[in-house]
Amino acid sequence: MTPADRLTEAEAAAELARLAAEIARHDRLYHEQDTPGISDAEYDALRRRNDAIEARFPALVRADSPSRRVGAQPASGFAKLRHRVPMLSLDNAFAPEDFAEFCRRARRFLNLKDEPLAFVAEPKIDGLSISLTYENGEFQRGATRGDGLEGEDVTANLRTIAAVPKRLAGAAPALIEIRGEVFMSKTDFLALNAAQQAAGQKLFANPRNAAAGSLRQLDPAITAARPLSLFAYAMGEASAPVAATHWEWLERLAGWGFTVNPLSRRLSGEAEAAGFQAEIGAARAGLPYDIDGVVYKIDDLALQSRLGFVGRAPRWAIAWKFPAEQATTLLLDIAIQVGRTGALTPVAQLQPVNVGGVLVTRATLHNADEIARLDVRIGDTVLLQRAGDVIPQIVAVDRSRRPEGAAPYAFPDHCPVCGSLAARAPGEVVLRCTGGLTCPAQTEERLIHFVSRGAFDIEGLGEKTIREFHAEGLATTEGETFHLRGPADIFRLPAHEAAIAVREGWGALSAANLTRAIRARQRIPLARFIYALGIRRIGEANAKLLARHYASFANWRAQMLAAVQIGSEARSDLGNILGIGPAIAEELAEFFAEPRNVATLDELAALLQIEDAEAPAAAAGALAGKVVVFTGTLQTMARPEAKALAEKLGARVTETVSRKTDLVVLGADAGSKARRAAELGVRTVTEQEWRDLAGLPAQA
């Protein structure tokens, strides 16, 4: 065989094609048929030859190159599908007051007086949200909700579900997206688990997990054998309007052949909600499927569209959850967990108890204040509560059953892992370890976060592996130990592939796969990179907002360093990003004020290619980039709606008039802000002119 460094370009191209096919064949034998065709060493040699040729001829790297793949399948096994319209989540209500507050807000936004507000109420199924796209009436593709913006393409599996119409019955818009909940009935779930047990297969914890596990099968034949159902309940993109109210929309869905939950009901006013909630609550245990509450949606679609969204949740719908389930048990001990930001979280260790069908052994105690408030002591009998998916909590202590001599709990004033002082920031309830990066617990949690699903998502490098590598280190060939001290060390792991290969449960092939998985992630979208840093309050959604706003790593870094200065333009720009706000801006500023953090960031940036984010689509609005101030009383719409509308059109709405203001909208009795605008020569418009600008019809 010609050595890689002596191939001509034409020979190299042919050889890369041969290697791609050959390696793919061995991947399939190994991963799918569990029958390796060659030894690990031979396989590695094929991979190395492929890498060497690609390194010499980067232009020849094939779309199907083995270096672009990890194992037999892409990371999750499913391609990603972008939703044309984001899939929403819902805000929750737990009590009548929460629902009343929701209605009050919607009324205020819409400037409604006493006119009734009609709702549609639908039982909230505890299943798996999906989106189905139909073109010219034909089912084209379907995806899981994913992060709301992008889900997994599970089209082939959805086709196996009888309740998913392959063709819409009757006339429909050329393009329509339909959302619904895939679920498994309680009896089907029990039967499936019995069959799984008999076959020695893993059991599912509840019907929801069974539905999710069944839909996310790489082999559609397995999905086909699972009894899945679907209730349709919402619309995504539609190329033509189909209904004026949500109720009419549900009727259209039924007409097209979907199953709509038969318990759904139209309520002519919000006063009817409490009765419906009680009715469904009473029926709950007898229903054939699990529900965890009722979704209330404002019926009028024109009102829905005026209300719009805050973050990921609509202002026109709310999920009113059923009260949590409770049980009593014994508090055996209190463990202190150290999180990635150093927060010390007390975790109750409980005598195992069944709470509404789930075996609970641990519960959060939140923080030292909560323990003091409950005066909970080790040995106490406690009342436990579990609502939906959230971590169970201790809500009360039965003092009458307290054992003699039980002492008040003394919350540690030092980190139980590294021994550093634990301190409370002014105005905060949480005690934090002050050890920072020197605290092994914090380092470990940060590393776990760094490689997690929404972050670097490195295949083969999960929580367990990180903990092992971090705690034990890797014995190198030079007789030294390589420690994972920070995130950049993850990208130094490939240099220690041999040390990984000899670890128990690894071997040459897995170690080589890990190397490839790590290298595959050295190119990373900016949003994932920001999220991976684990800055407090910067979750996936905020990381995306930041990435879209700042577009490139270099720009983001420069702006964040500038934003460290309180009152700087960079700080106010950051705080003004819709969805960020001053508190999160401060959190970012604190992160960038710490030189060690900036050093870690730069160390990473040197090892990575951080991809620019796409510019926000909203920039096309009629008021794109304009700074708008509202003042005085608007007659035709309430202030929250005016603000939301301006933001939808691309504007930034601020409170004070300055030289940077582009437009001041004058309501009735506008005072000092109108004068200030006149002084500064800032453009002012009347409410009617504002409506014209926003493209709204004139009002009497």
Catalytic residues: 124
Interface segment toward ligand JCF; rule CB under 6 A; list 122-130, 354-362, 563-571, 598-606: 122-130
Nearer to ligand JCF, 250 or 374 (CB): 250
Cα 668 to Cα 631: distance, rounded to the nearest angstrom: 8
- Phi and psi at 317, nearest 5°, equal -145, 150
Q: Token pair of 297, please?
A: 């949606």
Which member of 88, 384, 415, 644 binds ligand JCF (CB under 6 A)?
88
CB within 8 Å of 567: residues ≥ 6 apart: none
Cα 144 to Cα 595: distance, rounded to the nearest angstrom: 41
Q: Does 124 contact ligand JCF by CB under 6 A?
A: yes
- To the nearest whole angstrom, how small is the minimum distance from the Cβ of residue 378 to ligand JCF? 39
Q: Does 234 contact ligand JCF by CB under 6 A?
A: yes
Interacting positions 279-338 with ligand JCF (CB under 6 A): 295, 317
Q: Where are the beta strands (DSSP E) in 62-190?
A: 80-82, 91-93, 119-125, 128-135, 138-144, 150-152, 175-183
Interface segment toward ligand JCF; rule CB under 6 A; list 50-58, 119-127, 391-399, 558-566: 119-127
Helix axes 639-648, 96-110, angle to 10 degrees: 70
Token pair 């920001």 in the structure block, residue: 530
CA angle, 473 as apex, 472 and 474 as ends, to 5°?
Answer: 120
Nearest to 482 by CA among 490, 608, 505: 490
- To the nearest whole angstrom, how small is the minimum distance from the Cβ of residue 516 to ligand JCF? 38
472-476 long-range contacts (CB < 8 A, ≥24 apart) are 474/499, 474/500, 474/503, 475/499
Nearer to ligand JCF, 295 or 355 (CB): 295
Nearer to ligand JCF, 181 or 299 (CB): 181
Nearer to ligand JCF, 231 or 630 (CB): 231
Interface segment toward ligand JCF; rule CB under 6 A; list 121-129, 498-506, 523-531, 681-689: 121-129
Q: Where are the beta strands (DSSP E) in 425-490?
A: 431-433, 474-475, 481-482
Q: Where are the beta strands (DSSP E) in 612-677?
A: 627-631, 652-653, 663-666
Cα 585 to Cα 570: distance, rounded to the nearest angstrom: 10
- To the nearest whole angstrom, how small is the minimum distance from the Cβ of residue 84 to ligand JCF? 15
Nearer to ligand JCF, 148 or 473 (CB): 148
- Phi and psi at 61, nearest 5°, equal -60, 125
Q: What is the DSSP letter of 182?
A: E
Nearer to ligand JCF, 122 or 687 (CB): 122
Total residues at interface with ligand JCF (CB under 6 A): 11
- To the nearest whole angstrom, how small is the minimum distance from the Cβ of residue 320 to ligand JCF? 12
Site pattern 129..148 for ligand JCF (x: CB under 6 A): x-------------------
The burial of 6, by beta-carbon neighbours within 10 Å (0-12 exposed, 13-18 middle, 19 or more buried), is given as: exposed
Which member of 78, 109, 189, 233 binds ligand JCF (CB under 6 A)?
233
- To the nearest whole angstrom, how small is the minimum distance from the Cβ of residue 637 to ligand JCF? 24
Interface segment toward ligand JCF; rule CB under 6 A; list 91-99, 120-128, 488-496, 647-655: 120-128
- Phi and psi at 578, nearest 5°, equal -60, 120
Interacting positions 463-482 with ligand JCF (CB under 6 A): none
Q: How far is CA 339 from CA 334, 428, 484, in A?
A: 16, 16, 17
Nearer to ligand JCF, 318 or 382 (CB): 318
Interface segment toward ligand JCF; rule CB under 6 A; list 47-55, 118-126, 247-255, 385-393: 118-126
- To the nearest whole angstrom, how small is the minimum distance from the Cβ of residue 185 to ligand JCF? 14
Nearest to 228 by CA among 207, 243, 255, 254: 207
Nearer to ligand JCF, 122 or 641 (CB): 122
- To the nearest whole angstrom, how small is the minimum distance from the Cβ of residue 143 to ligand JCF? 15
- To the nearest whole angstrom, how small is the minimum distance from the Cβ of residue 456 to ligand JCF? 30
Nearest to 36 by CA among 47, 49, 27, 45: 27
Q: Does 177 contact ligand JCF by CB under 6 A?
A: no
Three-class SS of 185-247: CHHHHHHHHHHHHHCCCCCCCCHHHHHHHHHCCCCHHHHHCCCCEEEEEEEEEECCCCCCEHH
Interface segment toward ligand JCF; rule CB under 6 A; list 36-44, 68-76, 124-132, 158-166: 124-132
Interacting positions 392-451 with ligand JCF (CB under 6 A): none
- To the nearest whole angstrom, how small is the minimum distance from the Cβ of residue 289 to ligand JCF? 10
Interface segment toward ligand JCF; rule CB under 6 A; list 123-131, 342-350, 379-387, 419-427: 123-131
Which member of 90, 168, 382, 585 binds ligand JCF (CB under 6 A)?
90
Nearer to ligand JCF, 289 or 450 (CB): 289
Instruction: Tell me the chain's radius of gyration from C-alpha atoms.
Output: 29
Nearer to ligand JCF, 81 or 295 (CB): 295
- To the nearest whole angstrom, how small is the minimum distance from the Cβ of residue 434 to ligand JCF? 42
Token pair 């790593």 in the structure block, residue: 553
Which member of 54, 122, 380, 444 binds ligand JCF (CB under 6 A)?
122
Which member of 181, 188, 299, 444 binds ligand JCF (CB under 6 A)?
181
Cα 1 to Cα 6: distance, rounded to the nearest angstrom: 10
Provide the binding-site residues for ligand JCF, judged by CB under 6 A.
88, 90, 122, 124-125, 129, 181, 233-234, 295, 317
